[in-house]
Structure 1
Amino acid sequence: MQLTYRGANYEYDIPTVDMIEGQVAGKYRGQDWNYRYPRHIPVPQKYGGANSNTKQEVQALRDVAAASAIAAVQSSPTVAEVAQVQRRHICSILDRRQQVAKAKGDERLMRLLEIEWKQMAC
């Protein structure tokens, strides 16, 4: 297909998608019509039948998911631990900023950083 954009001509080939026919979905104006799926997508199975899970299997899957969620919550750090790590990180950044200010000889920045250091009480 020949297209033009702001005076520039270019050729555009519409990509084709390999489709497969599914089961008959209904009728439209007296004709059967089928679901169509791209070939790389598996055709979904009907609800129920040989491929469906039993209630016990579904409950077992839910139990496993709930147990893993509980384990994840129990192993997560507490608020106090997170606050302590954050405080150490801020103090290390502040220390590095002081070292850079000393190396540059910036007295004004050194005074500001000392005030910040006292506020943080690192």
Structure 2
Amino acid sequence: MKLTYRGVEYDSNPPMLEVTESEMGGKYRGQPFRYTYVRHVPIPQPVERLTYRGAAYQTTRQGQILQVSDGGQVSNASVVDKSQQRQAGMSFANLRDKLVNNSPAAAARRQLLQESSRLHRENIARSLEHRLSIAESQGNEGLVQQLRLEMSQSL
């Protein structure tokens, strides 16, 4: 479709979504109709070997949970269904939290947060020292006492 925006012409090619028709249908004002749904692309899940309360298991790319035997062998016949997951307390949210906390991205994020909090503390200390030197040069003993108290609390 050709479009023009502020004198600039361009061709717009919106992404085409795959649509599936449902089996439900009916008639509306005498015309037959069917519901259509956008086909969802599955998001691949990370594959991890995890332990929950001493029970070893492994997640698959499809989000399923496989039991791991004592020897470290994964048995395909032991796929845990959703009701068993709920009974065992192993929901996908718990798995996601555990995977996110163990990922390299989470470690990098943690390191970045630690560095930024360290820099923040250094900036606060530098600001307090500057304010303290100004208060001392002005001879304001009340403010000097308050700033020293604030410095002792922040360190």
TM-score (norm 1): 0.41
Q: Which has the higher strand share?
A: 2
Q: Which has the higher helix share?
A: 1
**Bigger RCO (CA 8 Å, 6+ sep):** 1
Larger Rg: 1
TM-score (norm 2): 0.34
